Structure 1
Amino acid sequence: EIDDGLSIEFLENDRQKIWVHIADPTRLLTPGDELDLDARRRTTTLYLPTGIIPMFPSELATGPMSLIQGQICSALSFGVILDESGEVVDYSIHASLIKPTYRLTYDDVDEMLQLQIKLEPEIHVLNQLAKQRFQWRQSQGSISIYMPESVIKVEGEEVKVEVLDDSPSRQLVAEMMIMAGEVGAKYGQKHDIPLPYRSQPQPELPPEAELILLPAGPVRSCAMRRCMPKSEMGIIPARHASLALETYVQVTSPIRRYSDLLAHFQIKAHLRGEELPFSRDQMQEIVMSLVPAVKEASSVERFTNRYWGLEYLRRNSDEVWQALIIRWLKEEINLGLVLLEELGLELAMRFGRSVNVGDRLEVKVAHADPRKDEVIFQEVITTVAEAAAN
């Protein structure tokens, strides 16, 4: 599923227009037809360690619905002009035909940015504009929390765990997708279009004086994360606190998120001057049905990843892992939450001695049973003599 692409248009007076092109699966659907209703029932594509369960049939999701290099593809394109601070000052949305030139991986883009390859100046311009967007959102009160994220894959008999790096390319794409979501929501709000808007109440974060006492990095991020309220979906635009946007809707993944598909149906109909396929009451009813379905899908992904994470640890019980204590679960019984930094896994551990949040330990798996959802760690104590010998 390739559902997004980026391009840049150079305007007069050293201005640029950013184009975010999103795959347009709605051209193959009619609201209420069998494909649409089946996608609504599935709600989202599931990404599991053992494979992908797509929202649409794979032959469509990875074929005519996707943006394919070298082919003319249907898209919904968001054209955006920013001011010097990174704020959106002008935008337009178009049903379009595009021909993707390159298919780049995150590693490809990171290498281009690192080596400052001059043959692709567009990448560097987009990166600079993404940084402006990030800084503008920070000035509006955005809340950035980074915790290591693991990707677990089961390939045949092998279980692999990879930690995703918060690289410049991922930050670039994330900012562009957030920007497209802001523009889609602005358009919907301006024209009174019922959309599945996303919002988030303002959190009550720990006082700055309290946060500064915590070690920077995962420990501090964990403390902030615990205070963050869940995002909400509804048909009335509202502020999204952590993104620092007054209105926001997800529009960039219509092949794998049904709420994004709904937004495309509505926006495209309005662009054509047609009656909206979903009335306010219908949209409210669909959104109410999506919320528990999305929650259930997230639970399936979370529990399946946990199972295979524990299975990976069981198979590698001889390994010594670096564990960072990120918070207490029950301090009175010495039970805390540790982050295995090489794996991006967060798991409970009961300590056999006095420790503090922020301490780093070397641990091994004493027992792991993924079927029972059990894991017990033991600390590896290295003596001075052993350390000297090594």
Structure 2
Amino acid sequence: MSIHQGSPRVDALVLYKSRPARVSALDDKIEIELEGSQTKRVRPKDVVMLHPGPLRRLADLTNGLGELAGDGGSVEEAWELLDGETTTLADLAELIHGESSPAAVWATWQLVMEGVLFEGAPDAIHPRSAEAIAEEREQREAKARAEQDWTDFVARVEQRALAPEDAERLREVERVAYQQSEHSRILKHFNVAEQPAKAHEFLLRIGHWPPEHNPHPRRFGVALAAPELALPELVEESRLDLTGLPAFAIDDAGNQDPDDAISLDGERIWVHVADVAALVAPGSELDLEARARGATLYLPEGAVTMLPEAATAALGVGLQEVSPALSFGFRCTEEGELADIEIHPSWVRVERLSYAEAEQRLEEQPFASLMQIAERFRARRAANQSARIDLPEVSVRLRDGQVAIEPIERLAARDLVTDAMLMAGEAAARFCQDRALAIPFAVQPPPERIEQPETLSGMYAYRRCFKPTRMAVEPGAHGGLGLPLYARATSPLRRYADLLVHQQLRAHLRGEPVLDASEVAARASQAEVAGAAVRKAERLSNQHWKLVYLQANPGWRGRGVVVAQEERRTVVLIPELAFETRLRAKSELSLDADVNMTLASVDLPELDGRFRLFGG
């Protein structure tokens, strides 16, 4: 019988839950002594006999190790001598250490538990194969290297001294910051909440992301590069030749995707819109891609087009000597009503102007007449309780690495273009309704109370009374615009809903099958979901870059206007930044009061800028 077999006796060495123990007393149960002089009463089946003893103290197991004769070489020799045969713990201890004392048995058992050269139970131990040993050692070395790499990485993070190879490891934190994952071992280790803003703050703090890094487009899953799809050739078809009619594409300076232009032919207005549907057929690969994107993404860093960039070059009005267009013609009566609506595929010759350039020509023809017509249309909308909310707006652009924030001026030329596009939208909606042509109408219910606010605080409050515009195949009024019927139809290069309207119009005009209402609703709904993500990414990106600008200008001072009073907070709008902030004032400030403000702090991850009042 091997010495580890048999019933436990006093002073025997036993194994209890992988720990060595000395039997100190026997009765109906076994009393054992564990390391630290802890005693415990256990059942016989809870322990495994390793050596009958005598073992007077557990400390003798380690104190006697230095006297053992075996070394690393004898362990390897024992493995070779066994040559695949099974042995017992006591015999293996004898083979390795030259004795089978409690200390030798315990040292041998620890060797077995390591699981490299040997494996098994105390009464049946066998050597592992050379292949298994090599694989085990390789795995353990790899684990040790990984643990050391982790330790080194943690030290570099703590010292804010990241190495290039850390970028790949930090991808998991980026995924949390981008709202693509909810978990990160790194954030857990550093006791950082696994939330997008907290992950963002962590990446800024350790120097992995610079303050300029904008995570918001990725958080909403929007595409960050233009689609790379082939554009078909424009097919020959009958088009109305309007090239002899002066046409003007009026946009912000630097605009890269002009998709509409205006002409005046006697009393008839023409709004020429890029004929995108001539190249993007319903259900085509281009159509599916545009639908999945919903709209062009406009960021301060640059635009990411809904369609391939070649589409703008080929179809943008005024980018070629002669441009293909879908032209909306109509008259605007003295009462501001639209009449004699017609729509044609056309050829147009377009002159491009900035709003500032057009502003200088408003007393010339045809601009002076266009202004008179627009005023009639605007008066009709005002009579229908349209809302004019002129809150400050700014353009935020990144130029040569610097944030440029410029106010958007309230120009008469801008109002002219806006009214012309609204006329075209009403004309498209009327044309389709009269022909039972399914399109996504833009519908907005009127607010519960009608106002015509003239102050910033009034417009700020009134804006909140309106529900968002929604797309619907059932015609309905647009309360904010003061129109009984309206469809967005003048931006098919950059909005899918407009493209969908054009696809239906072109199919109808060519006598081809059109989509039914359910198909139009499904496509418009898909694009609207994608477009909502684009709008959120744009809004938060603008806020991000405004805060980057403020962070780079810590001494910023400027004027604010009080626009609302909330419980314990005053809402202030900073016109030159189009920035809304909340602050605690020592005394209540009156609405529309001008206040002098200075920057207090910027929190980029939370998209928050705090200000305080100064002076009188």
TM-score, scaled to structure 2 = 0.57
Partner in structure 1 of residue 277 of structure 2: 26
The alignment partner of 1:308 has SS state of helix
Q: Aligned Cα RMSD in Å?
A: 1.5
Distance in 2 between the 1:246 and 1:205 partners? 18
Amino acid at match of 2:283: G
Distance apart, 1:262 and its partner CA: 0.3
C-alpha distance 364-205 of structure 1, shift in aligned 2 (>3 A): same
Amino acid at match of 2:463: R
Amino acid at match of 2:559: Q
Partner in structure 2 of residue 124 of structure 1: 368
Distance in 2 between the 1:205 and 1:336 partners? 24
The alignment partner of 1:205 has SS state of coil
Distance in 2 between the 1:254 and 1:51 partners? 19
Distance in 1 between the 2:322 and 2:360 partners? 28
The alignment partner of 2:371 has SS state of helix
The alignment partner of 2:360 has SS state of helix
Partner in structure 1 of residue 427 of structure 2: 183
Larger radius of gyration: 2
2:483 corresponds to which of 245, 248, 258:
245
Deviations 1:181-230 (A, max 9, x none): 0010001111111101101011113778xx6xxxx321111111111111
The alignment partner of 2:471 has SS state of strand
Q: Is 1:143 paired with 2:380? A: no
1:308–1:370 contact (8 Å) kept in structure 2: no
Amino acid at match of 1:103: R
2:306–2:494 contact (8 Å) kept in structure 1: yes
Distance in 2 between the 1:311 and 1:303 partners? 12
Distance apart, 1:19 and its partner CA: 0.5
Distance in 1 between the 2:401 and 2:451 partners? 48
Size of the alignment, in residue pairs?
Answer: 360
Partner in structure 1 of residue 464 of structure 2: 226
C-alpha distance 95-317 of structure 1, shift in aligned 2 (>3 A): same
Distance in 2 between the 1:109 and 1:124 partners? 11
Q: Is 1:364 paired with 2:598? A: yes
Distance in 2 between the 1:355 and 1:66 partners? 49
Distance in 2 between the 1:35 and 1:290 partners? 13
Deviations 1:340-384 (A, max 9, x none): 1222222222323332222211011011122232221111124xx
Bigger Cα displacement from structure 2, 27-36 vs 264-273: 27-36
Bigger Cα displacement from structure 2, 180-189 vs 346-355: 346-355
Partner in structure 2 of residue 297 of structure 1: 534
Q: Is 1:196 paired with 2:440? A: yes
2:304 corresponds to which of 53, 70, 82:
53
Partner in structure 1 of residue 509 of structure 2: 271
Deviations 1:138-182 (A, max 9, x none): 122212111111111111221011111121011000000000000
Distance in 2 between the 1:74 and 1:46 partners? 24
Amino acid at match of 2:287: D
Partner in structure 1 of residue 262 of structure 2: 6
Amino acid at match of 2:555: D
Q: Is 1:166 paired with 2:385? A: no
1:311–1:370 contact (8 Å) kept in structure 2: yes
2:562 corresponds to which of 325, 340, 363:
325
Between the aligned residues of both structures, percent identity stands at: 32
Partner in structure 1 of residue 589 of structure 2: 355
Amino acid at match of 2:336: G
Deviations 1:9-38 (A, max 9, x none): 11xxxxx10000001011112221111111
2:292–2:526 contact (8 Å) kept in structure 1: no
Q: Is 1:235 paired with 2:473? A: yes
Q: Is 1:377 paired with 2:611? A: yes
Partner in structure 2 of residue 280 of structure 1: 517
Distance in 2 between the 1:360 and 1:58 partners? 45
Bigger Cα displacement from structure 2, 174-183 vs 338-347: 338-347
Partner in structure 2 of residue 106 of structure 1: 355
Distance apart, 1:82 and its partner CA: 1.5
Distance in 2 between the 1:238 and 1:364 partners? 46
Partner in structure 2 of residue 77 of structure 1: 327
Deviations 1:295-353 (A, max 9, x none): 2111111111111111112222212110101012x32x2x1221112222222223233
The alignment partner of 1:104 has SS state of strand
Deviations 1:22-78 (A, max 9, x none): 0101111222111111111111001111110110122322x0021125612111101
Distance in 2 between the 1:30 and 1:180 partners? 22
The alignment partner of 2:605 has SS state of helix
The alignment partner of 2:352 has SS state of coil
1:75–1:97 contact (8 Å) kept in structure 2: yes
Amino acid at match of 1:134: R
Amino acid at match of 1:291: E
1:366–1:378 contact (8 Å) kept in structure 2: yes
1:127–1:172 contact (8 Å) kept in structure 2: yes
TM-score, scaled to structure 1 = 0.89
Q: Is 1:341 paired with 2:575? A: yes
Bigger Cα displacement from structure 2, 344-353 vs 252-261: 344-353
Deviations 1:231-283 (A, max 9, x none): 1111111011111111110000000000000000001111111111x222211
The alignment partner of 1:103 has SS state of strand
2:270–2:328 contact (8 Å) kept in structure 1: yes
Distance in 2 between the 1:85 and 1:109 partners? 26
Amino acid at match of 1:369: D
Distance in 1 between the 2:451 and 2:387 partners? 14
1:36 corresponds to which of 274, 284, 287:
287
Indicate the structure whose relative CO is greater, using CA pairs within 8 Å and at least 6 residues apart.
Answer: 1
The alignment partner of 1:247 has SS state of coil
2:341 corresponds to which of 88, 91, 94:
91
